[in-house]
C-alpha cells in the first residue's frame, strides 16, 4: 500500500511517501519538504501567530495534494514540539484539520522518543541488545533506552537546536551559560536511563546528528542508507570549538548542512557533545530511520 507520513516539526514540514506492507521495510517513494520554522512563530505569550498558522495550513494543503498525486491511499499526519508548545494548540489543530480534511495529531514528547526507539529497534534488530537512542530536534531532545521494542525509559527535554538558538544564542547569552544549562538539564534526567545499565548499542537519529556526523567525516547520503555511519566524540568536541567561531554562512557550506539549519548547528553540537559526555559514549551510530518510520511501523502493526 502507498502511504504518506506527514511530519510537522519545529524546523520543517516533511511529507514522506512510502510503499509499505507488514513484514517488510517501508520503501521511500517520494519526499516533499518545506522549511517552516514554526518555533519562530510563537509570540511572547507562547501562542502561534496568525502568520505561522497560515503558513502551516498552506503547507499541509500542498503536502496533501502531493500525497494524492503520488497515489497515497492513507496520510498519517502528526505535529511535534513547536505546535505542542503553543498555548493555542487546539485552535491551530482545528484550523489545519478543517482546511485539509486530515486528522493532524499532536505527539507527546515521550511518544516521540518511544516511536523513534521503535524505528531504531526495527532497523538494528534484536541482536543490537540494549539500545540507547538519542534524537535532537528543533524543539526538543528525545532520549530512550531498553531491550525490547517498547523502551524502558522515554524522555523529552526542551533542548532542541532551534529552541536553544532562539532563546540563548540569538538572545546574546554566552556559550558557557548555554553549555551549563544543557548539561544540567540532561544530568537531572539521566539517572532513569543510566539505572538500567550500559548500552550494547548507542544510536543517534535525525537531521542534526546526521549533519554533525557528516561534518566529522561520515559517508554522504549518496553512498546509500546501509553504509555504517558513526559520530566520534573526539571529532565532535573539536567541531564544537570550531562552530563557536564560525558565521552561519560559513557553517552552511560544511558537508551535510542545509542552509536553513546552519544557524542551529552550534546549539545542536553543544547538546550532542553534552549527551555523549554525560552518558560516557565514545561514539554514536547513526540510524537512517527515525520518528516518521516509527509512526509508520506502529500504524502497520495495528492493521
Say whether 202 sits in a helix, a strand or coil.
strand
CA gap 231, 143 in Å, rounded: 17
CA gap 104, 79 in Å, rounded: 7
| pLDDT tens, residue by residue, 118-138 | 999 999 999 999 999 999 999
Q: What letter would DSSP give residue 283?
A: E
Question: In the chain, where are the structural domains located?
Answer: 2-106, 109-291
pLDDT in tens, the chain (303 residues): 999 999 999 889 999 999 988 778 899 999 999 999 898 888 989 999 999 999 999 999 999 999 999 999 899 999 999 899 999 999 999 999 999 999 999 999 999 999 999 999 999 999 999 999 999 999 999 999 999 999 999 999 999 999 999 999 999 999 999 999 999 999 999 999 999 999 999 999 999 999 999 999 999 989 998 999 999 999 999 999 999 999 999 999 999 999 989 999 999 999 999 999 999 999 999 999 999 999 999 999 887
Identify which of 7, 96, 105 has the alpha carbon closest to the alpha carbon of residue 48.
96
The domain made up of 109-291 has a fold known as: Nucleotidyltransferase; domain 5 (3.30.420)
CA gap 201, 191 in Å, rounded: 18
CA gap 58, 13 in Å, rounded: 11
Fold matches, 2-106 and 109-291: yes
Angle among Cα 43, 112, 144 to the nearest 5 degrees reads 125
Is the domain spanning 2-106 CATH 3.40.50.300? The answer is: no
pTM, full prediction = 0.95
Cβ neighbours of residue 3 closer than 8 Å, sequence gap 6 or more: 17, 18, 20, 26, 72, 73, 74, 75, 76, 296, 299
DSSP states along the chain: -EEEEEEE-SSEEEEEEEE--TTS--EEEEEEEEE--GGGGB-TTSPBPHHHHHHHHHHHHHHHHHHHHTT-SEEEEEE-HHHHH-TTHHHHHHHHHHHH----EEPPHHHHHHHHHHHHHHHH-GGG-SEEEEEE-SS-EEEEEESSSS-SEEEEES--HHHHIIIIITTT--HHHHHHHHHHHHHHHHHHHHTT---SEEEEEHHHHHHHHHHTTPPPGGG-TTS--EEEHHHHHHHHHHHHT--HHHHTTSTT--GGGGGGHHHHHHHHHHHHHHTT-SEEEEES--HHHHHHHHHHHT-
Amino acid at each position: 500500500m502507498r502511504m504518506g507520513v506527514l511530519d510537522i516539526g519545529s524546523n520543517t514540514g516533511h511529507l514522506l511517501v512510502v510503499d509499505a506492507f507488514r513484514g517488510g521495510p517501508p520503501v521511500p517513494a517520494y519526499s516533499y519538504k518545506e522549511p517552516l520554522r514554526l518555533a519562530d512563530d510563537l509570540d511572547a505569550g507562547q501562542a502561534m501567530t496568525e502568520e505561522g498558522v497560515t503558513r502551516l495550513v498552506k503547507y499541509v494543503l500542498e503536502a496533501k495534494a502531493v500525497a494524492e498525486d503520488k497515489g497515497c491511499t492513507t496520510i498519517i499526519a502528526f505535529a511535534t514540539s513547536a505546535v505542542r508548545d503553543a498555548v493555542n494548540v487546539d485552535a491551530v489543530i482545528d484550523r489545519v484539520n478543517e482546511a485539509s480534511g486530515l486528522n493532524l495529531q499532536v505527539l507527546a514528547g515521550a511518544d516521540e522518543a518511544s516511536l523513534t526507539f521503535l524505528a531504531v529497534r526495527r532497523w538494528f534488530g534484536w541482536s543490537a541488545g540494549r539500545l540507547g537512542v538519542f534524537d535532537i530536534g528543533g524543539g526538543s531532545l528525545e532520549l530512550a533506552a531498553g531491550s525490547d521494542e517498547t523502551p524502558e525509559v522515554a524522555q523529552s527535554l526542551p533542548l532542541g537546536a532551534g529552541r536553544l538558538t532562539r532563546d540563548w544564542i540569538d538572545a546574546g547569552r554566552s556559550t558557557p551559560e548555554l553549555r551549563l544549562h544543557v548539561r544540567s538539564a540532561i544530568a537531572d534526567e539521566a539517572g532513569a536511563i543510566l539505572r538500567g545499565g550500559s548500552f550494547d548499542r548507542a544510536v543517534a537519529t535525525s537531521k542534526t546528528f546526521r549533519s554533525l556526523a557528516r561534518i566529522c567525516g561520515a559517508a554522504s547520503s549518496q553512498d546509500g542508507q546501509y553504509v555504517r555511519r558513526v559520530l566520534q566524540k573526539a571529532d565532535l568536541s573539536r567541531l564544537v570549538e570550531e562552530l563557536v567561531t564560525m558565521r552561519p554562512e560559513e557553517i552552511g557550506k560544511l558537508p551535510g548542512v542545509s542552509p536553513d539549519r546552519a544557524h542551529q548547528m552550534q546549539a545542536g553540537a553543544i547538546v550532542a557533545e553534552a549527551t555523549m559526555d554525560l552518558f560516557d559514549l565514545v561514539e554514536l551510530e547513526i540510524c537512517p530511520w527515525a520518528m516518521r518510520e516509527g509512526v509508520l511501523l506502529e500504524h502497520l502493526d495495528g492493521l
